[in-house]
Amino acid sequence: MKNFSPYFKKEMLENFRTYRLLIIVVAYILFGLMEPIMYRMLPMILESEGFDPAMMGMMDTSQQGLLRSYMGNLSQIGLIIVTLTVMGTLAQELQRKYWILPRSKGGSAATMVLSKFFLYSSGLVAATLVGFMVNNFYGRVLFEYTGLELPGVIQSGLLFALYFIFLLSLLFLLISIIQKGIPAALLTLFVSFLVFPLLNNFSALQNFLPYGLIQESAKFFFDWSSLLPVLASTVFLTALCLFGTIRRIKTMEIL
């Protein structure tokens, strides 16, 4: 792609200035670290409040259980952090017409969009894998080892990250249409929190919705051949959102 390297470097420098990716990475690591620590401290907290510490036995403190709890937090609070952090990266350029000068000089809309997308996608994958590994490590240190090894953690992390990458492409598409960050972020959250869970109730759609990646990632050990439909549909929908974003920006008038 024409001028991809300069655009990518620009996005990296912008991130050093705004700390967007750093915020996401730190949040993922803190969530991963605090989950096993809070579960470890919970018996003392219950006892101090006059409750029976034996209630802790009702909770799943296995490595798998702690990681599933961490996934639940990421798919809710983590997603809010990601969308609110990333929404400004494209919205500001469209609102303030920063895209006009490079486009008027022959710059590619595809390069502008894809440089942002690849930077944040890479950051999401890295943050997810680090957060998963931190959670698994402290789960093994603070609780009894229950057999979840690093390969299973990494595979689950990659599936989980792929869902967030799809949502990133959807966020970009909505921003290109609305040209405002907050409404696009709210719509993205609406799709993830309400629309996908409702559609997932239809058995005919379950194997093709990107939302299925969240459920599959919680299994830790998979038959990858059975995941081909949801993987293919997620990649296709991600590419479709990116194509729509690029197409939308290409059709904007350069005044």
Q: CA of 239: how far to CAs of 26, 98, 107, 117, 159, in Å?
A: 28, 24, 21, 11, 17
Nearest to 253 by CA among 96, 114, 103: 103
User: What is the rounded end-to-end Cα distance, in angstroms, of the chain?
Assistant: 25
Mean pLDDT of 155-161: 93
On the question of pLDDT at 230 being above 60, the answer is yes
Q: How many CB atoms are closer than 10 A to CB 59?
A: 13
pLDDT, residue 1, reads 56
Question: Where does the chain have alpha helices with state H?
Answer: 4-18, 20-48, 63-73, 79-95, 100-104, 109-142, 150-178, 181-190, 196-199, 203-206, 212-217, 228-250
- Give the C-alpha separation, 189 to 230, whole Å: 20
pLDDT, residue 128, reads 94
pLDDT, residue 219, reads 85
Cβ contact 8:118 at 8 Å: yes
- Give the C-alpha separation, 18 to 221, whole Å: 37
Render pLDDT for 87-135 as a digit per residue (tens, 0 to 9).
888 777 776 655 554 555 555 778 888 888 999 999 999 999 999 999 9
pLDDT, residue 255, reads 44
Cβ contact 91:184 at 8 Å: yes
On the question of pLDDT at 45 being above 60, the answer is yes
The reply to whether the predicted model has a pTM over 0.85 is yes
On the question of pLDDT at 227 being above 60, the answer is yes
